[in-house]
Structure 1
Amino acid sequence: MSLTAFFQPRSIALIGASEREGSVGRAIWDNLRGFSGAVYPVNAKRAEVCGAKAYPSIATLPEVPELVIVVTPATTVPQLVEEAGLAGVRAAVVISAGFKETGKDGAQLEAEVLATAQRHGMRLIGPNCLGLMNPHAGLNASFASSVARPGRVAFLSQSGALCTAILDWSHDQNVGFSAFVSTGAMADVGWGDLIRHFGDDPHTKSIVIYMESVGDDAASFLAAARAVAAQKPIVVIKVGRTAEASRVAASHTGALTGSDAVLDAALRQSGVLRVDTIEELFDMAEVLAKQPLPTGKRLAVVTNAGGPAALATDALVLGKGELAELSPQTMAELNTLLPAQWSHHNPVDVLGDADAVRFAQALRIVCQDAAVDGVLAILTPQSMTHPTNIAREVAVIASEIGKPLLASWMGAQSVLEGRGILNASGVPTYDYPDEAAQAFVRMREHRLRLIWLSETLSAHADDDEGEALPCVGELIDAVLGSGRTLMTEQEAKQLLHVAGIPIVETRAAYDEEAAIAAADALGYPVVIKLLSSTITHKSDCGGVQLNLLNATAVRQAWRLIQDNVTHLHGLAAFDGVTVQRMVTQKGMELILGASTDAQFGPVLLIGAGGTLVEVLQDHALALPPLNHALARRWVEQTKIAKVLHGVRGQPAVDLAALDDVLVKFARLVQHERRIVELDINPLLATAEGIVALDARAVLRA
């Protein structure tokens, strides 16, 4: 259902309108007086509110309002929503507090309100919210003390208190909004609904979100973000970065995957830019709406002072950007133009006595260099400098170059006019050059996220939800039918095998002689490992014995594993061993895992593997489905990726084969949701191919 009635209603009813100074009902009534449509106060105890005729109920209004705002106590809200629904109202903002934030009883009350609204086909914003504004329609349906200026940014926030602070800040900074929405508890209307609405709103050029939680429908949020982010920047600040989801201690992947890290991966693949501060939140919304994105990470700096350029350089490099290497032609032109004392490298120091002509000519030369992806112009006020004239020249250049141009006009009164000229021409200005360099890095990050988004959309389009893996289902049915949820190593490897993932041949042995026979058949050297339906990590109890060269070694290893397990866990935990040939190929040990996040569903992990996986903490997350390009980008997020490409004489691993394994692994956990956890550790990556040496799987009963 469209959200138009919330932001462009023709008529509004305020239930709980009041004359009492300091009350929410009075504050909202006063704010609604600027609205051009009909506004009806509803108050069963008064005939008038501030001189306007009051109505005792929704049913007594002269028309059915398009939007109802409720500010009465929480216990009255279910009945009021029922009355509004019966009258035909389709949109309601519930300002009232006292719902799930208060505990069990409040949560039950909130569920009752939602069920009533859904029964009548009514959409709800709130409860426990500040309200909303549409400055372009003259609508202030909130109890904020001031109204937002019209602008191009839609601001969505779960914190009403933050809304009021941002509103005050926006007046001081002259920031305008296409909408201003306090989402409250998001019982009904959530992030996905709002993102889709403002994605279609012609007044909105970018969407900024203050997020405390993703909400109950993460899938809707991600789908909406993927649909909108390529056309309009979505910038998010998410609080609670250190909070982690409940972990499954038995799983390597579960131990490494926190809720915030999963959210990061989800935002990256959805094209959403995540920032760390409120200032960045609005700054990036403006920059991304005004400036073209850089095609690369190479920044050139043109400055009339060396120190500020050094600050910008530090911020750029620490943010994983690069100083552009100027071409010989650019250097020759600068040498002709500038005094002999200029810096002769990037940053281009045009010297403190540069006038507007010199500064502009140097800037234009640098902007035209094909090796430059973006340019930062830095100006400090000096006696020979005219900040306003130089700003006019920079504004002209910005309209010509087709690549991002940022400016740092340092100072106060002397640069104010110049800043105004630059901002009006679409050139973002910064008080300090390091902030400008950080903005360039963020712009580059946003471009990369849009590439991730493109590949993610392609992967979703190619993913055949109806394509089953029947052999996988049969294996899982058999394990669950035996009353178990923990697969044995052999079963987990068979699961991978039928999904098309290469495994090392593994045989189960339930006595010493069977273990020796298996080793003889496979060929020495061999590895034997604990076979147990209850023990998760074999190496923790001496359950892995490597490089066994003959039958005597196999017999000794069997007895050692049996003794270790019996001592630590009892004989019942020892079912036997698995036997596999010792892989002697040189390669990299990786971990490839999947766990289930409560909000986002299956989450994939790849990184440096082996027994020190939790210590090394070198891993990256992704969400299925994957295609080969997305799989490669995912791997490149890890530190070990450099080693996979070959270092110090070692050949590169078979990256195409690795991509193929990752895509098949993602498909397996995407389509078989009874897999709760799946670890391959180690996944051996060599120049000859990829093979799973060990596997562990936990199923949903």
Structure 2
Amino acid sequence: MGRDLTPLFDPKSVAVVGASDDPAKYGHAVAAQALRAPGRRPVHLVNRRGGTVLGRPAATSLGAVGEPVELVVVSVPAAGFEAAVDEALACGARAIVGITAGFAETGAAGLARQQAVAARVREAGAVLVGPNCLGIADNTTELYLASDTFAHGGVALLSQSGNLALELQLRTAQHGLGFSRFVSLGNQADVTLVDLVEDCARHADTSAIAVYAEDFGDGRAFAQAAAAAGKPVVLLTAGRGTASARSAQSHTGALTTSSDVVVAACRDAGVELVATPREMAVVLAARSAGSRACGRRTAVFTDGGGHGVIAADAAETAGLEVPELGAGTQQRLRTVLWEQSAVGNPVDLAGMGEQDPRSYADTVGGLLDADEVDAVLMTGYFGGYAASGSGLGGGGASLATGEEEAARRVVAHWRGTLKPLVVQSMYPQSPSCRILADAGVPVFSATEDAARALASMTATGTGGPLGIAPLPPPAEPLRDAGYHGVRRLLTAAGVPFPEAREITCEAELLSAAAEFEGPYVLKALHVLHKSDAGGVALRLADRDALLTAYREMHARLRAPSYSVEAMADLSDGVELIVGVNRDPRFGPVAMVGLGGVLTEALHDVAFALAPLPAARAARLLRGLRTAGLLTGVRGRPAVDVAAAADVIERLTTLAAAHPEIAELEVNPLLVRPDGVLALDCRAVPA
């Protein structure tokens, strides 16, 4: 059970400290909004000068109000913020909204002040939104404490930007959407994004949660809350293209970026990640329709070849499939369309709509009924017959009437199935398209928006969201981060390695060679990227070859120690990389992909939050561009993916249990038809 935010969203009474008659001050805007529902709860205006504000008497202090106030909005200069918060707590406030800026965003001193205020609020058993926020609103409880007015609806908007919130209002209004709640996140000194997601998940009048966040705080906790929400969570975030804070001492660190981490966390949590406010509005409109496809097979339907081809391309770009329809479905479509209509996919009326707009409904019904079709994208001129008045075919009002009847029949067909239907129209505001939209069918003016909407209505797999695996309890810290110390740690966790010994001189080298047979591998230790430095010698047939290689390598590198190892059989094997990088926001992040010396050049890797269960590891491996190497190509046998996935689970669980390790990597992990061997490893201390 998360934090109780009832005093924040449905307080018994409200006070605005810093209320003002000056339209240039934020205290004026918040006070004016707060007075929109005077009958719901008492609203008190506080201004140190007293008098009247917005025509109402203003108290000179909270204490002068004369009765308890459950929620207090503080909009005063930064120098007076702490005193206003202390007075609010002394007067029994259970929730505080801090509009005032000048805290953590200004540097270390501001952060210290902010932390001290937040500590006092928590000690009093209250909650604080902000500071440095733009207020909150809850349409379901008639709580209006932000400068903007939000249309009523089912979307909870949690945003770190006031202007983006305004743009989202404008864009979602085009799709008939509104908001249940709005919260400006501010500095998240006390109430965090995670707290709000959890509370909105419990809020009966919220059907979807829209988030704009630049700072996730605890990113893993956010992903866990979103995964458990039980309703759509759509995320717009900034700065995904920059590299996260990391070391460059391993391939894992060099390849992992903040973008990879956010994408992986959203995928695992079932969060819809979007790039722009427009895309967020499109996805919210799509998810509000309620339909979810069980597959990606999409039928594209049009009355014009150009629109059909463009829509098919857009659908495939969005990750959907546009396969040719089977003979049976094509034959059934032929019974309702004329001879020149195309029925392969895209399905094209080829002008029939101009003669009989009702053909749209017959075709949509046939496509929705086809077992081989998971979703339908209707695109092009529909809506134009009613919008044009006279119509292309000269039928005038009869065409418009027929089109509106077709729209009602399309709705009837759609309601008879669970399959998604999305419409792109040149005339989205036409009466016919309004019939569709009012019934819940998403209608868009842009083809790419319709395709993106349909993709968001398509399940990624039969299992739904993957979920976020819990972190294991911390293990005993690693004391020896050297190569053989890490090897021992991994071996104890069940990661198999070839025989190996660490040596520092020729005598130890010969002793090690006597313990197991060649061929041998010689590695220089404590050398960064030792392959590039010439610190690895392979396929040393016997002790003489091993000794010669050691003398040559030591003369060049003067490494303090070396590793003598049994040479693995590389035939029929595939080299993978498995690593874990500790992200400052999301914790341990796993990377799997094609390994070896070309890892960074090929960049065929995938990411997930660690630990990574074996089933999910196998799924990531099979999703690589080079996954064909695992299943066998050009006469090569398939390798043991299940064994590789098991090792990935063991390694990522181990790394997640060792917070003192910033990066842990096995590269390469040799996967053969008969099992796996870890051939090299590295750990980077935090």
By how many angstroms is 1:150 displaced?
Answer: 0.4
2:531 alignment partner, SS class: helix
Which has the larger displacement, 614-623 or 283-292? 283-292
Length, aligned pairs only: 665
Query: Structure 1: which amino acid aligns with 2:416?
Result: E
- Find out whether 1:500 has 2:504 as its counterpart: no
1:103 to 93, 107, 110: 107
Provide the rounded CA distance (Å) in 2 between the counterparts of 1:331 and 1:20.
69
Corresponding residue of 1:208: 210
Contact in 2 for aligned 1:548/1:554 (Cα 8 Å): yes
Query: Structure 1: which amino acid aligns with 2:467?
Result: T
Query: Structure 2: which amino acid aligns with 1:254?
Result: G
Query: Structure 2: which amino acid aligns with 1:28?
Result: V
By how many angstroms is 1:113 displaced?
Answer: 1.8
- Find out whether 1:576 has 2:562 as its counterpart: yes
Provide the rounded CA distance (Å) in 2 between the counterparts of 1:521 and 1:586.
27
Contact in 2 for aligned 1:311/1:434 (Cα 8 Å): no
Provide the rounded CA distance (Å) in 2 between the counterparts of 1:575 and 1:119.
55
Contact in 1 for aligned 2:279/2:449 (Cα 8 Å): no
Corresponding residue of 1:181: 183
Corresponding residue of 2:457: 443
1:579–1:627: structure 2 CA closer, same or farther, 3 Å change rule?
closer
Corresponding residue of 1:7: 9
2:624 alignment partner, SS class: coil
By how many angstroms is 1:313 displaced?
Answer: 0.7
Provide the rounded CA distance (Å) in 2 between the counterparts of 1:632 and 1:193.
33
By how many angstroms is 1:448 displaced?
Answer: 2.0
Provide the rounded CA distance (Å) in 1 between the counterparts of 2:563 and 2:29.
73
2:588 alignment partner, SS class: strand
Provide the rounded CA distance (Å) in 2 between the counterparts of 1:389 and 1:408.
18
1:401–1:178: structure 2 CA closer, same or farther, 3 Å change rule?
same
Contact in 2 for aligned 1:270/1:452 (Cα 8 Å): no
Contact in 2 for aligned 1:253/1:594 (Cα 8 Å): yes
TM-score (norm 2): 0.93
Contact in 1 for aligned 2:380/2:426 (Cα 8 Å): yes
Provide the rounded CA distance (Å) in 1 between the counterparts of 2:412 and 2:570.
65
Provide the rounded CA distance (Å) in 2 between the counterparts of 1:357 and 1:204.
37
Provide the rounded CA distance (Å) in 2 between the counterparts of 1:157 and 1:256.
30
Deviations 1:197-229 (A, max 9, x none): 1111111111111111212x224312211210x
By how many angstroms is 1:71 displaced?
Answer: 0.4
Provide the rounded CA distance (Å) in 2 between the counterparts of 1:261 and 1:320.
18
Corresponding residue of 1:401: 417
Give the RMSD, CA atoms, in angstroms: 2.1
1:74–1:636: structure 2 CA closer, same or farther, 3 Å change rule?
farther
Query: Structure 2: which amino acid aligns with 1:164?
Result: L
Corresponding residue of 2:517: 523
Provide the rounded CA distance (Å) in 2 between the counterparts of 1:584 and 1:208.
50
Deviations 1:138-162 (A, max 9, x none): 3220123xx1110111111101232
Query: Structure 2: which amino acid aligns with 1:394?
Result: V
TM-score (norm 1): 0.91
Corresponding residue of 2:445: 431
1:586 to 572, 575, 584: 572
Contact in 2 for aligned 1:528/1:580 (Cα 8 Å): no
Provide the rounded CA distance (Å) in 2 between the counterparts of 1:697 and 1:171.
51
Query: Structure 1: which amino acid aligns with 2:445?
Result: D
- Find out whether 1:335 has 2:321 as its counterpart: no
Trace 1:87-102 onto structure 2 (pairs within 5 A): 87-102=91-106
Trace 1:310-459 onto structure 2 (pairs within 5 A): 310-354=309-353, 355-380=356-381, 381=384, 383-384=392-393, 386=400, 387-411=403-427, 416-444=430-458, 447-448=459-460, 451=463, 453=465, 455-456=466-467, 459=469
Which has the larger displacement, 291-300 or 433-442? 433-442
Query: Structure 1: which amino acid aligns with 2:460?
Result: L
2:430 alignment partner, SS class: helix
- Find out whether 1:282 has 2:277 as its counterpart: no
Which has the larger displacement, 206-215 or 155-164? 155-164
By how many angstroms is 1:337 displaced?
Answer: 2.2
Corresponding residue of 1:570: none
Contact in 2 for aligned 1:78/1:112 (Cα 8 Å): no
Provide the rounded CA distance (Å) in 2 between the counterparts of 1:601 and 1:669.
10
Query: Structure 2: which amino acid aligns with 1:178?
Result: S
Trace 1:120-131 onto structure 2 (pairs within 5 A): 120-131=124-135
Provide the rounded CA distance (Å) in 2 between the counterparts of 1:647 and 1:320.
26
Deviations 1:350-396 (A, max 9, x none): 22232233221122111111111101122413524544232212111
Provide the rounded CA distance (Å) in 1 between the counterparts of 2:120 and 2:434.
52
1:164–1:430: structure 2 CA closer, same or farther, 3 Å change rule?
closer
Provide the rounded CA distance (Å) in 2 between the counterparts of 1:347 and 1:449.
24
Corresponding residue of 1:560: 552
Deviations 1:386-440 (A, max 9, x none): 442322121111101111111112236xx51112111111100011333212222
Provide the rounded CA distance (Å) in 1 between the counterparts of 2:435 and 2:214.
37
Provide the rounded CA distance (Å) in 2 between the counterparts of 1:658 and 1:303.
47
Contact in 2 for aligned 1:541/1:564 (Cα 8 Å): no
List gaps (5 residues or longer) in structure 1: 480-485, 567-572
1:356 alignment partner, SS class: coil
Corresponding residue of 1:602: 588
Provide the rounded CA distance (Å) in 1 between the counterparts of 2:571 and 2:675.
10
Deviations 1:87-122 (A, max 9, x none): 221101111111122223322222222122122121
Query: Structure 1: which amino acid aligns with 2:502?
Result: A
Trace 1:155-304 onto structure 2 (pairs within 5 A): 155-170=157-172, 174-215=176-217, 217-228=218-229, 231-304=230-303
2:457 alignment partner, SS class: helix
Contact in 2 for aligned 1:157/1:210 (Cα 8 Å): yes
1:448 alignment partner, SS class: coil
By how many angstroms is 1:191 displaced?
Answer: 1.2
- Find out whether 1:546 has 2:532 as its counterpart: no
Provide the rounded CA distance (Å) in 1 between the counterparts of 2:619 and 2:460.
10
1:551–1:21: structure 2 CA closer, same or farther, 3 Å change rule?
closer
Provide the rounded CA distance (Å) in 1 between the counterparts of 2:565 and 2:35.
80
Corresponding residue of 2:388: none
Contact in 1 for aligned 2:282/2:449 (Cα 8 Å): no
Contact in 2 for aligned 1:327/1:369 (Cα 8 Å): no
Using the aligned pairs only, state the percent identity: 35
Query: Structure 2: which amino acid aligns with 1:377?
Result: M
Contact in 2 for aligned 1:210/1:236 (Cα 8 Å): yes
1:502–1:565: structure 2 CA closer, same or farther, 3 Å change rule?
same
Corresponding residue of 2:387: none
1:344 alignment partner, SS class: coil
Provide the rounded CA distance (Å) in 1 between the counterparts of 2:568 and 2:613.
32
1:293–1:697: structure 2 CA closer, same or farther, 3 Å change rule?
same
By how many angstroms is 1:520 displaced?
Answer: 4.5
Provide the rounded CA distance (Å) in 2 between the counterparts of 1:691 and 1:520.
22
Query: Structure 2: which amino acid aligns with 1:491?
Result: G
Query: Structure 1: which amino acid aligns with 2:50?
Result: R
By how many angstroms is 1:536 displaced?
Answer: 3.0
By how many angstroms is 1:498 displaced?
Answer: 0.6
List gaps (5 residues or longer) in structure 2: 385-390, 394-398
By how many angstroms is 1:174 displaced?
Answer: 4.3
1:577–1:628: structure 2 CA closer, same or farther, 3 Å change rule?
closer
